[in-house]
Each structure stands twice: as structure tokens, then as C-alpha cells.
Homo-oligomer: A and B are copies of this chain.
């Protein structure tokens, strides 16, 4: 890549949006990126929000030139557990053609390919950047911004690189993303922590109660979510669509994860489950004594983070309502339940045959020398559904990461070859677009 040094600098800023302690670092990342875009001839605006700023930048070459809007995010997930990183998360390190750092793939690295593609390259295309710092916490302030600036954001295509190629060496365009509904659930029992000897047998135990709740949320045998109405709006997937999917190498996936089975909802293939079926997963749990050795306590409180991935036409708000109502209904006797909605995002499907998708497919095939595959993805980019609704522009989801990039996990990385080829494909796309397709 012709511009790795600045990316290392970008990645070294710990812009963890969910952690108030990193508020200034998040801002620093936005300012840093603004400087880089300004150097490329962009007019840059930093828009304050109640939390992290939105960066908007544009390079207008001609009123009648085609216009591209690039969306990305400069915030990252928390890096813990820190002890599992081979090199520190905010000390970007290249090993064997891979760049390791928090944000290397999600999303600073992929976003950087879009910036670097425009260095010393000025196609007759108007380019706009919309970059937020709240993607990892559900983009709470982006939608109002997009709605307020709909005119300025107008574009003939929206480019987003915040996903993965289907496999190494396989150029990939994505036409579907899952949505998200993320809750925090707390159970409270007695007013104070209790000695498990003195009170065991009469005291509510919120940890035990969380276990009962989890068992009522998902059936162990079938893997199905047990919230009434959960599957009601799930749109069936046509056999035609499935026939176009690439083959998933299940054995390779098992080996990658270090597992002997791929547990999930019965009656669906792993690829169907990942791309077209909603899921429910606890993402964190806490309560009582977590230290070394033993403590015979019955805690007064326990809690968990609980998220559901959604598919068309599920709605995050409606699912949150259903989940809350059900949790209240099955809350174990003697416990008080508190549910907080942390964030959500709508699922989305885009048109794989839109004009900019066709152009991008051509550009990718020229650079990679092999046909593009079309995929859905299991992850969520909340803003995609919002941009699609607000801007009515075709969306191109060009993943430059790989499934083993360790997103949201220790040792996040990106393969540099994909950034380099991605950059070349983007330039070719701009050329094709400038030529009128």
C-alpha cells in the first residue's frame, strides 16, 4: 500500500466510542482524518453531536459529474481482553502481510483504502465522505444528521467498506445485512448480598435466575429463540437466491473456530443461519464473586448483555418490545427485572444488480482476475438501512476484510493485499463511473 504510515497513525488512536474514558481519543481520530482529507483537496466539516462528532467532507469537481458518497466509521470496539493480544491493540504491527490493530479491519483500515485511493488521483467524480464515530454503539446521532442534510448527501452511489470478502482471493459484493437489537438485562433479588450458608434455601439467587431466563430465551435442543412472535416477520428466502450463493466450507469454518460442531437453529444450513436467520446471543454476564478462590455469597444482583441479530422484515423496536414483554412474563419468582435498550439497527437488503453494483463488479473482476461472488453478511451496519431509506441511492457494500479478521476480538487484523487490491478496484470504479459506466 502506498500509504501505510498514515494508517498506522490512524490505528494508534484508541477511539473506543463506548467508553467515556476515550471520549477525547474518539475526537482525536475524527480531527486526524479531517486533516488527511483536507490535504487531498476536500472541504471538511466537523459536526458536533451530543456524543462523538460526525465528519463530513466533499470534493466537488463539477455540477454535472457523477457523485459518490463514501460512508465509514472512525470509532472502534473496546480492545479487552487485553492479555490475549500478541501485540498491543493500539500499537499497529505488520506481521507476514497482515496489519494487526484494533480497527485494522473494522473499520479504519477499510475506510483508509477509500481515502488512499484518492491520493494523487482525481477522477471526474464528486466525492463525499460521511464518517461517524458512533457506529460501534449503534449510530444514535447519524440518522438525524442524514435526515437534516439529505440534499447535501445526495449521490448516485453510496460506497461502504465495512465488511468481509467471502474468502481469501474472492472479490465479494454484499447485498444483505442483518439488523440488531441489543439489551442489558439486570435481575435483582434480596436488598443486599447474602451468606449462602445463612440464607441458602430461602433467598432469591439472581445468577440462578439469569440461567433460568437464558434457558427460556433459547431452546437448547432446537436452537430456536423462544420469544413469542420473534420469527413472525422473517421473510422466507427463495430457492433462486440460495442457488446463487457460494459454497461454504463448513470443515474449514470448524477448523478456524476450533470447534467440532456449528451449533444453531435446526432445519437451516450454516450459511442460511448466518445470513438469513435471526439469532439471540448473550454477549456478557456478571454477578457475585469473580475473583480467585471461593466466596460463599448469594449476590443481590446479576446482569447480562443480550443481543439479537435480525433479518428482513424484523424491526428492532418491535423485537425489543416482544423481548421485554416476554422477559417480564418469565422473570423468575422473587426477582425484579430491569431492561435497558442499548442500541438497534434495521436489517437491510440492497439490489445486487443496480448500476453502481455492476460497475464495481466489473472493476473488481478486472483487478482480481476472477468473478465476483454476491453474499449477505451476518453483521449489522445500522446506517445502511437508514442511508438507503433517506437517500434513495443504490448502495455498494464492498467488503475488504476477511472472515478471520478477529473483529471485536483480540488480534484484529487486515490482510494488506486486500487493501491494496481494494484501492486499485476503487480507482477503476471511479474511472468507469467518470466514463459514464
Query: Which residues of chain A have a CB within 8 Å of any CB of chain B?
Result: 18-20, 77-78, 80-81, 84, 137-138, 164, 178, 180, 182, 184, 189-205, 207-208, 210-215, 217-218, 220, 253, 257-265, 270, 273-274, 277, 279, 281-299, 302, 304-305, 307, 309, 332-334, 342-343, 377-380, 403, 406-411
Let me know if A274 and B18 touch, CB within 8 A: no
Knowing A281-B196, A282-B207, A293-B137, say if A212 contacts B220 (CB, 8 Å): yes
Q: Could you tell me the distance in whole angstroms from the C-beta of A410 to the nearest C-beta in chain B?
A: 7
Let me know if A295 and B408 touch, CB within 8 A: yes
Knowing A198-B164, A200-B309, A257-B194, say if A180 contacts B281 (CB, 8 Å): no
Let me know if A259 and B309 touch, CB within 8 A: no
Please name all residues of chain B whose beta carbon is closer than 8 Å to the beta carbon of A195 when the two chains form the complex: 379, 407-409
Nearest B residue to A258 via CB reads: B191
Let me know if A283 and B291 touch, CB within 8 A: no
Please name all residues of chain B whose beta carbon is closer than 8 Å to the beta carbon of A411 when the two chains form the complex: 192
Nearest B residue to A202 via CB reads: B262
How long is the Cα–Cα vector from A292 to B253 in the complex, in angstroms? 31
Let me know if A296 and B279 touch, CB within 8 A: no
Let me know if B286 and A408 touch, CB within 8 A: no
Let me know if B288 and A305 touch, CB within 8 A: yes
Please name all residues of chain B whose beta carbon is closer than 8 Å to the beta carbon of A282 when the two chains form the complex: 205, 207-208, 211, 287-288
Could you list 9 A-B pairs, sorted by A, with CB under 8 Å? A20-B292, A192-B258, A197-B378, A198-B379, A198-B403, A283-B297, A284-B289, A285-B287, A286-B286
Knowing A195-B407, A408-B193, say if A19 contacts B202 (CB, 8 Å): no
The one of B189, B191, B343, B409 in contact with A294, judged by C-beta atoms closer than 8 angstroms, is B343
Please name all residues of chain B whose beta carbon is closer than 8 Å to the beta carbon of A333 when the two chains form the complex: 261, 263
Let me know if A190 and B261 touch, CB within 8 A: no
Nearest B residue to A211 via CB reads: B214
Please name all residues of chain B whose beta carbon is closer than 8 Å to the beta carbon of A208 when the two chains form the complex: 214, 218, 281-282
